[in-house]
Chains A and B, each alone.
Chain A
């Protein structure tokens, strides 16, 4: 079976799409046939981050409504092999996503031999978020180091264990916590929650900590997922996260305030 992974958070703007793009790219770079689906009906974003917005012809809702075949709608990624993007619809109403329709697309992707299906969830706890998590085997819960984000992630964790196909069958969705936009300096200054506090509140296994980084904005402006930027801290942190997801033991990095060298102190 294809392994279905939802990237979800509850709160908006915490880095779900950034993470979905990096994660799917990282899996594909390691040879896994991967599809990444944008569930954010009406607010399509993933195609921009992946740099394929000009090649969108058909979308997820077209496929669900049988207006296009899955093969017609899947966009081949231009950066790495084995990676395909299924963009969200711009205009359709949110009720277009149904459990049956989404289930059929998942089955078809499985038939096409995909190893991983990454579902980029919209914010909130409404239909779109529910549909994105419904068939998931694993969930990457994206949290920023602030109280409201942690609270929303907690709600999402509750929904994952009650409102998913797995939960309905008495199984559970594997939970992984990914802390993004982590700024050790701001944690030290007491402006943000520390990693330990977040873990204490959520009690979910930590799969990665992505630092707050300029490189993320640069990457999204150039339409290339940040994981491709091998020198950036965020790119490296995302790469570590993918390796941990695939079972490797990789120590966490970028958790401490960087000690500035003499030149850095002088020139920033």
Chain B
């Protein structure tokens, strides 16, 4: 059995939140670039959530497409945007953003870990490893462009998830069909969270911020039932039994 165990190194530890206090893309880019140049290992390919709450009205002038492209060029993987004005939702979706619904955790970036504030350059990982308890069941396929965000607990997806979809859960994630999208478990820092699926074809897997792109991983479990879990600092993909 142990021959099939695959060891994966986690390079990032938490999902970063970018809190925007300005809608000026040039300003944002400049600040982020400085930040990245000083701490490249923190930002390389890291999933990033954008929080627009400090923006207020200025959100209406935010170039959603430009922002996304700029973040991608800087090497981030923009996973979602939140706290945007209702009028901006459609624009954001058209620009390819997953819009996170206003919910319990919105406005509380520390729940998701480190917050990156381009105006104040300090990055402080405020981690509160929450023990999430409730369970949410999704009985439809999760399609490309769709997202389920459930920081309160574990997610059970009864059908498949598509390439281009995203699952974010505070606890574990169970997918009873093919898993093809991105999946982030333990987004509040719960290192005991796991990902289970019937057919592993995910694009990205992450537990408590330790993430990997599946394409970069050397596993013979692609297309098979599998479990993703954290062994200390190491992300592992193993058969379920």
Q: Give the distance in Å from the alpha carbon of A203 to the alpha carbon of B146 in the complex.
A: 16
The digit string for A126-168, where 1 denotes a CB below 8 A from any CB of B, is: 1000000000000000000000000100110111011000000
Which segment of B20-28, B137-145, B203-211 sits at the interface?
Answer: B137-145
- In the complex, residue of chain A having the shortest beta-carbon distance to the beta carbon of B178: A200
Asked whether A68 is an interface residue with its Cβ less than 8 Å from the other chain, the reply is no
Docked-complex contact A154 and B162, CB < 8 angstroms: yes
Asked whether B236 is an interface residue with its Cβ less than 8 Å from the other chain, the reply is no
- In the complex, residue of chain B having the shortest beta-carbon distance to the beta carbon of A126: B94
How close is B30's CB to chain A, nearest CB, in angstroms? 32
Consensus secondary structure, chain B interface: loop
Among A126, A158, A203, the residue within 8 A (CB) of B145 is: A158
Q: Give the distance in Å from the alpha carbon of A229 to the alpha carbon of B163 in the complex.
A: 39
Docked-complex contact A157 and B94, CB < 8 angstroms: no
Contacts of B177 in A (CB 8 A): 203
Docked-complex contact B141 and A155, CB < 8 angstroms: no
Among B94, B142, B164, the residue within 8 A (CB) of A151 is: B164
Docked-complex contact A203 and B144, CB < 8 angstroms: no
Q: Give the distance in Å from the alpha carbon of A241 to the alpha carbon of B8 in the complex.
A: 49
Among B94, B146, B159, the residue within 8 A (CB) of A158 is: B146
Chain A interface category by residue count:
10 to 19
Docked-complex contact A155 and B140, CB < 8 angstroms: no
Asked whether B160 is an interface residue with its Cβ less than 8 Å from the other chain, the reply is yes
What total of A-B pairs shows CB separation below 8 Å? 34
Q: Give the distance in Å from the alpha carbon of A154 to the alpha carbon of B161 in the complex.
A: 10
Chain B interface category by residue count:
10 to 19
Whether A203 contacts B94 in the complex (CB less than 8 A), given A154-B164, A157-B143, A161-B140, comes out as no
Docked-complex contact B160 and A154, CB < 8 angstroms: no
Contacts of B165 in A (CB 8 A): 158
Q: Which of B141, B143, B163, B165 has the most CB of A within 10 A?
A: B143
Contacts of A154 in B (CB 8 A): 143-145, 162-164
How close is A153's CB to chain B, nearest CB, in angstroms? 9
Among B141, B163, B164, the residue within 8 A (CB) of A203 is: B141
How close is A177's CB to chain B, nearest CB, in angstroms? 13
Contacts of A159 in B (CB 8 A): 145
Contacts of A155 in B (CB 8 A): 143-145, 164
The digit string for B132-153, where 1 denotes a CB below 8 A from any CB of A, is: 0000000011111110000000
Docked-complex contact B146 and A151, CB < 8 angstroms: no
Q: Give the distance in Å from the alpha carbon of A203 to the alpha carbon of B178 in the complex.
A: 11
Whether A201 contacts B162 in the complex (CB less than 8 A), given A154-B144, A155-B143, comes out as yes
Contacts of B163 in A (CB 8 A): 151, 154
Asked whether A125 is an interface residue with its Cβ less than 8 Å from the other chain, the reply is yes
Q: Give the distance in Å from the alpha carbon of A159 to the alpha carbon of B90 in the complex.
A: 12
Which residues, 149 to 174 on B, are CB-close (under 8 Å) to A? 159-160, 162-165
Docked-complex contact B140 and A203, CB < 8 angstroms: no
- In the complex, residue of chain B having the shortest beta-carbon distance to the beta carbon of A151: B144
Which residues, 89 to 111 on B, are CB-close (under 8 Å) to A? 94
Contacts of A157 in B (CB 8 A): 141, 143
Q: Give the distance in Å from the alpha carbon of A155 to the alpha carbon of B163 in the complex.
A: 10
Docked-complex contact B164 and A125, CB < 8 angstroms: no
Whether A125 contacts B94 in the complex (CB less than 8 A), given A154-B164, A155-B164, comes out as yes
How close is B149's CB to chain A, nearest CB, in angstroms? 14
Docked-complex contact B160 and A158, CB < 8 angstroms: no
- In the complex, residue of chain B having the shortest beta-carbon distance to the beta carbon of A158: B143
Which residues, 166 to 195 on B, are CB-close (under 8 Å) to A? 177
- In the complex, residue of chain A having the shortest beta-carbon distance to the beta carbon of B94: A126
Q: Give the distance in Å from the alpha carbon of A154 to the alpha carbon of B160 in the complex.
A: 12
Task: List, sorted by A's number, 10 A–B pairs whose CB atoms are closer than 8 Å.
Answer: A154-B145, A154-B163, A154-B164, A155-B145, A158-B142, A158-B143, A158-B146, A158-B162, A159-B145, A161-B140
* Top-5 shortest CB links A-B: A158-B143, A154-B144, A158-B146, A155-B145, A155-B144
B-to-A contact residues, CB < 8 Å: 94, 140-146, 159-160, 162-165, 177
Beyond A158-B143, A158-B144, A161-B143, 8 additional pairs, beta carbon < 8 A: A126-B94, A154-B143, A154-B145, A155-B164, A157-B141, A158-B142, A201-B162, A203-B160
